[in-house]
Chains A and B, each alone.
Chain A
Amino acid sequence: AQSVTQLGSHVSVSEGALVLLRCNYSSSVPPYLFWYVQYPNQGLQLLLKYTTGATLVKGINGFEAEFKKSETSFHLTKPSAHMSDAAEYFCAVIQTGANNLFFGTGTRLTVIP
């Protein structure tokens, strides 16, 4: 069985501050990990993904995430928040050999000017 936990349904940061969105997963085997973003009134789009290889993954819009097997985490970070980053962010995991892509419940990011 596997699940995805996103700590904090709402996160607020000041413009220019560090963004940290947390994601932990439970999986019996190394999974594939994804972050998706949903901007207001838009569909979900891929931000970044980890499958194999380098554990620090860079995505679009300056975001990156690091796969830490020992901590079963895949936290999303950005050094400096921009107003346009305000959106809902979803962590997702698919276990290798499985069919289903499981999503977390999402974290709504608010950027304060």
Chain B
Amino acid sequence: GAGVSQSPSNKVTEKGKDVELRCDPISGHTALYWYRQSLGQGLEFLIYFQGNSAPDKSGLPSDRFSAERTGGSVSTLTIQRTQQEDSAVYLCASSQRRDSPLHFGNGTRLTVT
């Protein structure tokens, strides 16, 4: 079946512009995570959605970052007024339950020039 789909796969933007990154999780998966992967930094947790519960936003690095998940399915991560340090690969993952293995998308590589 279809896996986790992320778009775009690559995004180059100018400093100060806003960007939106999209994630289509596996159908029926109630848990959805966003992570950021920077060179040599591992995976940094950003935000977690579980069903209709309030999201866990504890990993968002600043108020320029926000995310929403509409209808318990598709999620959008928005970065406002991008900075060069925002350059990274943004990974989305979904799972059936909180403690189930995560299924990762291939990520969006964001480059801020």
Contacts and interface: CB of A to CB of B under 8 A. Distances in A.
Contact-residue size bin, chain A (C-beta under 8 Å from the other chain): 20 to 34
State the main secondary structure of chain A at its contact with B: strand
Interface stretch (A38-46, A61-69, A79-87): A38-46
Contacts of A36: 102, 104
B98 A94 contact: yes
A101 B99 CA distance: 9
A99 B41 contact: no
Given A32-B99, A51-B99, A43 B42 contact: no
A99 B102 CA distance: 13
Interface of B: 33, 35, 40-43, 45, 48, 50, 56, 58-59, 91, 93, 98-99, 101-102, 104-107
Interface of A: 9, 32, 34, 36, 42-46, 49, 51, 90, 94, 96, 99-106
